[in-house]
Amino acid sequence: MKRREWNEEQIEQLLQKLPPVKDTRSAEDIYQNIKDKQQLKKNSRRWIAPALATVAALLLFVFISPSLFHNATSYEESAMDSAATENSVKLESDMSEAKLTQEKTFDIQDLKNKEPETFVTKASEEDEIITVGFTDGNAQNILPISLEANQKQEKLEQLEEINPELFMEELGPISYELRNTEFIDEGDPEEITIEYKGEPSLASSATDTLYQNALIETFRWLDFKRVKLYTNNHAGIDFGHSGSKKDLEVKQENKKAYFLYQFDEHTSKLLVPSPEPYDSIETAIEAMKQGMAERHLQPTIMKGIETIKTKENGDQLEVEFHQDIEFQDSEPYIIMLESILLSAKEFGYRTVQFKGMNIDQVGVMDVTKPIEVPFSPNPID
């Protein structure tokens, strides 16, 4: 169907025919209505803007959040790694410090517990010590060794039970010539009776001398002056080279020099008397500067100490060193002074006064005062 076309004149005529319309609202009502509509538009604008901003922010967060999460995770991991490394370093430092402190504590404790070094026993220890004459592996030297005595057993009984194999790790190869010997105490404080029960093996000069020297070296520390000799219930022992003997004289003062013996670097150092006596303490000290290489005995007087003056003052020996010697509290100086003390005892002196020393203490010795000569050499466990 065809639409009817209206022109302006026809529209105007049509509107004039409409009934009149009158607005009965007051001016205040019309103003308030208009104001309400304007406020509604403003509120609409206020809500739309934040909403749009929120949506935009959400979209932006969606795009950038993976990167932020990765960076945050990386930072957190880095922080954790850094903290772990710091804690590890601190822990290692604390452990090292604790270990060092512990080592220092142990070192201090070791120093506190460590006894001063000595190669002799004190005169006051005579009742606690039993001294045995061993023979070295080359059958050249008698080695006096001081052992702790068993207070519940007679010393002679202990001598019969000596086993040299127990001491070889510390001393090197040694033998005990008196293993096949019975010791009999007949009540005389100056005399001891021995019964040799071994095979007749004392015919050679070497065995002959070793056995006699072992008897003398062992019993002189017990203050015996004679040894009565028996062989299988018969008086006397046939020594072959020196003939048959029924007794031996034992001297406590044999005028010996003392040298240093050591089988190897892993065994103990020992102070050993010379095989032969000397005329005086001066000649003994001179010999102690040289040693006896043929017997594997080293000097006990240190190199560079050429002049040692001695002077007798009753039963005290005065030993003066040259003033320019720098003494130390160390093993070589201990060995030198204690070997002089032992040799002084061999010549009948009771005390030794050292002079010309720049130090007050060497080993267990207070060298500012007269020192009592030792009881015996070479204490071992």
Q: What pLDDT is recorded for position 239?
A: 83
Average pLDDT, the chain: 80
| Residue predicted with more confidence, 247 or 110 | 247
Could you give the CA distance from residue 92 to residue 87 in angstroms, rounded to a whole number? 8
| Residue predicted with more confidence, 70 or 324 | 324
Could you give the C-alpha distances from 242 to 201, 203, 207, 212, 238, in angstroms and in order? 14, 9, 11, 10, 8
Q: What pLDDT is recorded for position 34?
A: 53
Q: Is residue 275 over pLDDT 70?
A: yes
28 band by pLDDT with thresholds 50, 70 and 90: low
pLDDT mean over 312-330: 91
Q: How far is CA 148 from its chain centroid? A: 24
104 band by pLDDT with thresholds 50, 70 and 90: very low
Q: What pLDDT is recorded for position 136?
A: 95
pLDDT mean over 107-124: 67
Threshold 0.85, pTM exceeds: no
**Most confident of the following: 211-215, 235-239, 287-291, 321-325:** 287-291
Q: What pLDDT is recorded for position 50?
A: 54
306 band by pLDDT with thresholds 50, 70 and 90: confident
Q: How many CB atoms lie within 10 A of CB 95?
A: 10
274 band by pLDDT with thresholds 50, 70 and 90: very high
304 band by pLDDT with thresholds 50, 70 and 90: confident
Q: What pLDDT is recorded for position 24?
A: 57
Measured at the alpha carbon of residue 81, what is the angle toward residues 77 and 86, in degrees to the nearest 5? Answer: 150
Q: What pLDDT is recorded for position 2?
A: 37
pLDDT mean over 23-51: 53
Coil, strand or helix at 91: helix
Q: Which residues, other chains included, contact 182 with Cβ-Cβ below 8 Å and sequence gap of 6+?
A: 160, 194, 195, 197
Q: Is residue 88 over pLDDT 90?
A: no
| Residue predicted with more confidence, 55 or 158 | 158
Domain boundaries, the chain: 120-249, 262-377
Q: What pLDDT is recorded for position 233?
A: 85
- Work out whether strand 226-231 and strand 191-196 pair parallel, antiparallel, or are unpaired: parallel
Measured at the alpha carbon of residue 365, what is the angle toward residues 360 and 368, in degrees to the nearest 5? Answer: 40
219, 221, 223, 224 alpha-carbon torsion, rounded to 10°: 10
Least confident of 44-58, 126-140, 279-293: 44-58
Q: Is residue 40 over pLDDT 60?
A: no
